[in-house]
Amino acid sequence: MKEKEIKALVSLLDDDDTEVTTLVENKIRSMGKGIIPFLETEWEESFSPIAQRRIEELIHELQLGGMAERLVHWKNGGALDLLEGMSIIATYQYPDLNFQKLRDEIDQFRYDVWEQFGSEMSPVDQVKALNGVFYSVLGFGANTKNFHSASNSMINIVMESRRGNPITLCVIYMLIARKLQMPVYGVNLPNLFVLTYKRDTTQFYINVFNRGIIFSRTDIDHYIAQLNLSPKESFYQPCTHLEIVQRVLRNLIVSYEKAGEPEKIREVERLLMAMIDEE
């Protein structure tokens, strides 16, 4: 379809006939996310509040569909790049997010920690060195004041504000650690997300939400017992990047439940189900 034809189509969005506007909206949806830049231009040039509102809704729908496609593509590609998966989630609120900027910031964080590393450090000393930079120099910490805020699930906001929930702080910490060749992985505990350092016969755990405190398998035993749950091996072993991103989406759903935003709940549930249905 030529640009003039698309422009004529968009001009019908403020038509009084709902049958006409419905047909137009369906036609625009069928063109996919590639039409978004054109819609944004039309929004800027429009003098009709009705047309602008409908254009906004169409852009959001197309962006949401694009997000679902990217998440499924990421998953089907092996979910290898955790930062990419987290960045896709962040585009729900920040569609123009600069992914390369986030990658560059993680690289800078890694360099800040690397300067404190010694060549013969033990695993525990490596973690202590990372903790020193992560909390004292970079200033990361728990967002206890707004624990259920949706922003805690947006990695760009957590990297900017230096405040987040357990899982997003763990993701940033882990991304830095892995760039330093540290065998650090996520662990899916009930009601809490932590990290594990695991190499050969050495394994211990890191509570990033509590300033990187190191703890043991026995501590997890006690934690599970307090919750009156039966132990599962998944409570002690590394989880996948896919499981991390799925849990972030579930956290986002809880955030919108707390905020009373049913439409956003439905949209994030759609994103989550798109990933699960493809398994």
pLDDT < 50: residue spans in the chain: 278-279
Q: What angle do CA 24, 29, 35 make, to 5 degrees?
A: 100
Which pLDDT value is given to residue 277? Answer: 53
Separation of alpha carbons 82 and 88, rounded Å: 10
Q: Rounded to whole angstroms, how far apart are CA atoms 137 and 214?
A: 19
CB-CB neighbours of 3 under 10 Å: 8
Instruction: Determine the pLDDT at residue 117.
Output: 85
Query: What's residue 7's pLDDT?
Result: 78
> What tokens were used for 107?
């690289």
Return the CATH number of 97-245, one of 3.10.620, 3.30.1380, 3.30.43, 3.90.70. Answer: 3.10.620
Length of the chain: 279
Residue keyed to tokens 């593509």: 73
Token match 């505990």: residue?
189
Q: What pLDDT, in 10s, does the model give residues 175-233?
A: 999 999 999 999 999 999 999 999 999 999 999 999 999 999 999 999 999 999 999 99
Query: Domain locations in the chain?
Result: 3-76, 97-245
The answer, as to whether pTM is greater than 0.85, is yes
Residues near 54 by beta carbon (within 8 Å), at least 6 away in sequence: 13, 14, 21, 25
How far apart CA 264 and CA 255 sit, in angstroms, is 10
Q: Can you list the positions of beta strands (E) in 119-264?
A: 141-142, 163-164, 184-189, 192-199, 202-207, 213-215
